[in-house]
Structure 1
Amino acid sequence: MLTVRLTPHLKRFFPVPDEVQVDATTLPEMVQRLDDLWPGLGFYVVDERGALRENVAIWVDGTRLLDRSRFGEPVRDGAVVHVMQALSGG
């Protein structure tokens, strides 16, 4: 079971809580569970190939996922995952 904390930005598009528990062992599986709960939310996080979108940042237990090739690797049971919108600009 993962604890997922979602960016407040998503509330503009989906009726999501600040935090939700999902039964998943990988981040792609987590995204699928979120999409099952709120259809369309998964496409906010991943593209049509299932790759993490460039404008989305994910932290697992306080560590940012910088190497996007590790997106499909297992996540420990009980992990806290933050799904955030990556911001840019100056």
Structure 2
Amino acid sequence: MAKVFFTANLRRHVDCASMEAEGATVRDVLAQVFRAQDRLGSYVLDDQGALRKHMTILVDGQRIRDLERLSDAVRPSSEIWVMQALSGG
């Protein structure tokens, strides 16, 4: 099962524990996570199911490419990090 982690800055806003979930894509894995932690889903995804602009997801250290459908592949041994995108200058 893929391991899903949430950064400390995200956990300050939404109570979300790291967990394991199965799935072939980022969307599949996150759907399981959001069923267990329902408030988290609306914080990470917009009303169309796309990744919110202030969020970033990494799979095995690489930023996902499909921000709308979340179709990036996930292996059973993958680590998925969900975090708030930071900006500044």
Scaled by the length of structure 1, what TM-score is found?
0.81
**Cα distance, 1:60 vs. partner?**
0.7
Q: Which residue of 1 aligns with 2:70?
A: 71
Q: Which residue of 1 aligns with 2:7?
A: 7
- In structure 1, runs of 5+ residues without a counterpart are none
| Secondary structure of 1:43 counterpart | helix
Conserved in 2, the CA contact under 8 Å of 1:57 and 1:85? yes
Distance 1:64 1:73 in 2: 10
**Cα distance, 1:7 vs. partner?**
1.5
**Cα distance, 1:57 vs. partner?**
0.7
Identity in percent: 36
Distance 1:28 1:70 in 2: 7
**Cα distance, 1:85 vs. partner?**
0.6
1:26 and 2:30 matched:
no
Q: Which residue of 1 aligns with 2:49?
A: 50
Conserved in 1, the CA contact under 8 Å of 2:51 and 2:68? no
Conserved in 2, the CA contact under 8 Å of 1:56 and 1:86? yes
Query: What is the root-mean-square deviation in Å for CA atoms of aligned residues?
Result: 1.9
**Cα distance, 1:61 vs. partner?**
0.6
Scaled by the length of structure 2, what TM-score is found?
0.82
Distance 1:48 1:54 in 2: 12
Structure 1 stretches of 4+ moved >3 Å: none
| Secondary structure of 1:32 counterpart | helix
| Secondary structure of 1:29 counterpart | helix
